[in-house]
């Protein structure tokens, strides 16, 4: 299951091999998931979910039509900044099926890159055997299915962020900043990486990320939409998506934001402290609440703010000082960051938790390679508890379990386990082996 030999280049990504049975199985899964997208469009009544919306957005760019209504109180069809629509316009020019093929290929490549970069960035210095290599893929396969089936970009964003951190580790801060900025320009929540980069004093990456965000949002779309029109559309999008928040909801999808489908820290906290109907996304269902106290909207926001501050301070507290950092602790630190970024997003639907792929991979390496038998067992138990909690999101379990935040709790278990590993490195931390790990740390 695992390899016991240290690697000469522990962070060198491996390539898929057509001679490896599990790699062939992975490619077969990608083909099946692509068929889930293409078969309904070719032989059925058309692919549903978000795919028609992506085609519409691309066609709007090609036809010079508006992406957003002029009145921000009207419902937005397209919830993303202008740049993704321009990127979608290129394959949309060839038609729906070419667009869907491109999106499926992007998801397949992102899935591959996520697995490869996750395994080489764990800081264990060991190459996993085929079964350990495949385990994170198996555990998160339902999230990957959502990525293909819905057409959502979260898996692609995860691959971008991992590649960005891998580039940062190899002293390529400007490339890292571009990847962080591109992910942010597609779907805003990856911008949460900036405070981390500032805290770790990655100034070149901070400047690169900030500069490229401006370029990708304001400059890149201008040749296609015009500078003034792009600026106006970006302002409309910001007011309708980022700047809109009220007791009813936020970001154009009021009926979803407070309902059980959203397991962000914000949504779960509000459901616990305010009498919110967590069935509101489906008017046919009877109203249900789950609050344990009853406060007003303003007080609920203060509670969210306090919880967020405590989580942020807790993260800073467990982060080792610069002179004590190792490749191992950096991986655990980054895993916690991915956990926090997932739940800190105002909207964290089921497929958002695909971002737990990396934290789980790090913990699986600890469970496989840690020198301490009791720590290996405890880590497997933590992973098992998180896995069981995430399984409760499957359709045959009641929605109230998701309303209570089963994925949020699973994320907390993973983050807590990573924090424990940071604060309790193995005895070898003072040995030559640890010095070798430290030498890999940027």
| Residue range 235-253, pLDDT digits in tens | 888 887 776 666 666 666 6
123 neighbors 327 (Cβ within 8 angstroms): yes
Neighbours of 34 (CB within 10 A): 18
Q: Evaluate if residue 414 carries a pLDDT over 90.
A: yes
Element (H, E) at 394: none
The pTM of the full predicted model, rounded to 2 decimals, is: 0.90
More confident of the two residues 7 and 216: 216
Residue 426 has φ and ψ, to the nearest 5°, of -65, 165
Determine the pLDDT at residue 72. Answer: 72
Instruction: Please count the CA atoms within 13 angstroms of the CA of 242 that sit on its side-chain side.
Output: 11
Residue % of the chain over a pLDDT of 70 = 91
Calculate the alpha carbon distances from 138 to 33, 121, 402 in Å: 14, 19, 21
Q: Which of 68-72, 169-173, 225-229 has the lowest average pLDDT?
A: 68-72
- Which position has the token pair 């999230």? 143
Element (H, E) at 39: helix 21-43
How confident is the model at residue 166, as a pLDDT? 94
pLDDT of 20 > 90? The answer is no
Structure tokens at 170: 């190899």
Structure tokens at 153: 């970009």
Q: What percent of the chain has pLDDT over 90?
A: 68
Cα angle for residues 55, 56, 59 (degrees, 5° grid): 85
Q: How confident is the model at residue 280 (pLDDT cuts 50, 70, 90)?
A: confident
Tens digit of each residue's pLDDT (9 = 90 or more) over 77-88: 888 899 999 999
- State how far the Cα of 37 lies from the Cα of 16, in Å rounded to an integer: 24
Q: Give the model's confidence band at 129: pLDDT under 50 very low, under 70 low, under 90 confident, else very high.
A: confident
Closest by CA to 237, choosing from 229, 248, 226, is 229
Q: What is the DSSP letter of 249?
A: E
- Using an 8 Å Cβ cutoff, are 239 and 231 in contact? no
Would you mind telling me the total number of residues written for the chain in this entry? 442
User: In the structure encoding, which two tokens stand for residue 31, read together?
Assistant: 């083909």
Euclidean distance between CA atoms 351 and 342, whole angstroms: 10
Question: With contact defined as beta carbons under 8 Å apart, do 123 and 331 qualify?
Answer: yes
């Amino acid at each position: 299951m695992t390899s016991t030999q240290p690697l000469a280049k522990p962070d060198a990504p491996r390539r898929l091999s057509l001679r490896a049975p599990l790699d062939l199985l992975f490619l077969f899964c990608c083909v099946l998931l692509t068929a889930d997208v293409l078969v309904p469009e070719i032989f059925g009544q058309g692919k549903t979910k978000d795919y028609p919306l992506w085609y519409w957005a691309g066609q709007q760019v090609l036809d010079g039509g508006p992406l957003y209504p002029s009145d921000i109180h009207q419902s937005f069809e397209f919830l993303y900044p202008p740049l993704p629509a321009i990127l979608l316009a290129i394959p949309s020019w060839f038609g729906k099926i070419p667009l869907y093929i491109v999106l499926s290929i992007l998801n397949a490549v992102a899935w591959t890159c996520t697995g490869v970069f996750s395994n080489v960035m764990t800081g264990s210095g060991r190459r996993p055997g085929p079964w350990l290599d495949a385990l994170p893929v198996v555990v998160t396969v339902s999230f990957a299915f959502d990525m293909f089936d819905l057409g959502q970009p979260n898996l692609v964003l995860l691959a971008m962020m991992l590649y960005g951190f891998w580039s940062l580790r190899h002293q390529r801060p400007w490339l890292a900043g571009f990847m962080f900025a591109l992910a942010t320009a597609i779907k805003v929540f990856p911008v949460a990486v900036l405070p981390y980069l500032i805290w770790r004093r990655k100034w070149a990456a901070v400047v690169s990320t900030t500069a490229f965000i401006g370029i990708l949002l304001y400059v890149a779309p201008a040749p296609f939409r015009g500078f003034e029109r792009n600026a106006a559309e970006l302002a409309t999008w910001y007011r309708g998506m980022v700047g809109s928040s009220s007791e009813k909801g936020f970001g154009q999808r009021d009926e979803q934001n407070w309902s059980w489908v959203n397991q962000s820290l914000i949504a779960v906290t509000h459901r616990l402290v305010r009498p919110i109907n967590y069935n509101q996304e489906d008017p046919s269902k009877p109203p249900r609440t789950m609050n344990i106290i009853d406060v007003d909207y303003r007080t609920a926001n203060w509670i969210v703010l306090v919880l967020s501050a405590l989580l942020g301070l807790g993260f800073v507290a467990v982060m080792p000082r610069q002179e004590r950092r190792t490749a191992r602790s950096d991986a655990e630190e980054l895993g916690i960051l991915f956990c926090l970024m997932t739940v800190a997003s105002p909207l964290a639907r089921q497929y958002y938790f695909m971002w737990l792929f990396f934290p789980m991979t790090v913990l699986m390496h600890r469970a496989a390679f840690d020198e301490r038998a009791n720590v290996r067992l405890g880590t497997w138990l933590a992973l098992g508890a998180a896995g069981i909690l995430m399984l409760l999101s499957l359709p045959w379990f009641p929605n109230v379990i998701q309303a209570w935040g089963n994925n949020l709790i699973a994320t907390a278990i993973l983050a807590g386990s990573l924090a424990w590993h940071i604060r309790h490195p193995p005895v070898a931390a003072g040995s030559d082996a640890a010095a070798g790990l430290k030498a890999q740390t940027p």
